[in-house]
Amino acid sequence: MKTVRFLTMIAAVLIGAAQSSCNSNDDNGVQDIEIPGVTFDGDIDCCSAEEALQVYKFLETVKIIPALTTTVDGQYNIFAYTRTGGFHTGYNDIFFVATKKKNGNYIKNFDIEKVTPLMYMVKMDMYHSTPVGGSVGSFDESRLAVKRGWISFLMNTSENGSWTLSYDIAVLGSKGAVSEQEIEVSALPEGQVWLKSFKVGDDAYFVSLADPTDWKTGANTATAYVSKKSKPITTPYAQATEQFTIEIDPRMPDMGNHTSPDNTPLTRQSDGSYQGTVNLTMTGLWRIHLTVKDANGNIVAGGDTENDGFSSLYWDVTI
């Protein structure tokens, strides 16, 4: 059995069948930790020692969502995670990991498809979906056994409406699903608004700011996604194929609406995301006013000045 030497004094324990078994051998602060995926030589479905260690370390930074965990064909466990173990309005990353039930080894080759959030609106007795990322793919080259997708929830759970989430699974020739599992979506704290909508003709679009909780004073890379409302509205809202440019104007409403220099517009990247630079000169509430232009440079949203002389299309970010 192989082991990976991991410089830490803390014996971390993973959740459920994805748990790692730890040696108690301690050699001057160095522990030998057995990482799932290296238990059996020649297990080609699973990770190398190095890959398994990266997955192990990553899973210490997220929290499991028990309601979205399932078993496929009695052989494989599928786990879903977010950074907090829950969901909130606006943008949320969601991560998936598959393990072999018999030994806990991570599996690299599995697929998550048809991620479908649905909200039931009580008063209107109808359902609608919300913006969802495209295909769920490997998190990065060092963590192929972690799959990542995203969901941007339009509103929080309340007496007016509730959410369910479904997804399909394919793992090593077996198929399974999580069907209409009820989930709780919380409101973001005051001073955080990461999702806004705009219309172009008869079409509705949603612009989602990817989690800015790690922003700091100075220059920050801003990542966003533009999604188009589906027809029917119960189909997840896919990323818009139209190309836009999103100009940004950060202001501090609590400080006389002063701005900051050296910001750059968000432009579309090869993966469909939009990226630009937002420079924040101090801590506090920033209202990031948006002006959306089409591929020809025409303003299609946010060109009004109804909000104290600034665009009424904006995100709020507090750092």
- Angle of CA points 153, 14, 48, to nearest 5°: 100
pLDDT at site 18: 39
- Cis before 232 (ω within 30): yes
Q: Which CATH architecture has domain 63-186?
A: Sandwich (2.60)
DSSP string, 179-236: EEEEE-EEPPPTT-B-EEEEEETTEEEEEEE---TT--SEEEEEEEEEEE--SSTTS-
Which candidate, 22, 52, 51, places its Cα nearest to that of 34? 22
pLDDT at site 119: 98
Residue 88, classed as helix, strand or coil, is strand
Please give the Cα distance from 291 to 28 (Å, whole number).
Answer: 58
Please give the Cα distance from 302 to 157 (Å, whole number).
Answer: 28
Phi, psi of 53 (to 5 degrees): -65, -40
Tell me if 17 sits within 8 A of 104, measured CB to CB. Answer: yes
For residue 21, what are the β-bridge partners? 34
Q: Which two tokens stand for residue 116?
A: 């479908």
Phi, psi of 65 (to 5 degrees): -110, 95
pLDDT at site 303: 78
Please give the Cα distance from 201 to 197 (Å, whole number).
Answer: 13
pLDDT at site 85: 97
Tell me if 318 sits within 8 A of 209, measured CB to CB. Answer: no
306: left (phi over 0), alpha (psi -120 to 50) or beta: alpha
Specify the residue for token string 């509430």: 285
Q: Which CATH architecture has domain 195-318?
A: Sandwich (2.60)
Within the chain, all domains assigned CATH 2.60.40 are found at 63-186, 195-318
> What pLDDT tens digit does each residue of the chain (319 aa) get?
433 333 232 233 333 433 333 222 333 333 445 664 445 445 677 777 788 888 999 999 999 999 999 999 999 999 999 999 999 999 999 999 999 998 889 999 999 999 999 999 999 999 999 999 988 998 777 788 999 999 999 999 999 999 999 999 999 999 999 999 999 999 999 999 999 999 999 999 999 999 899 999 999 999 999 999 999 999 999 999 999 999 999 999 999 999 999 999 999 999 999 999 999 999 999 999 999 999 999 999 997 766 567 999 999 999 9
pLDDT at site 141: 75
228: left (phi over 0), alpha (psi -120 to 50) or beta: beta
The structure's pTM equals 0.86
pLDDT at site 46: 78
- The rounded Cα 167 to chain-centroid distance in angstroms is 15
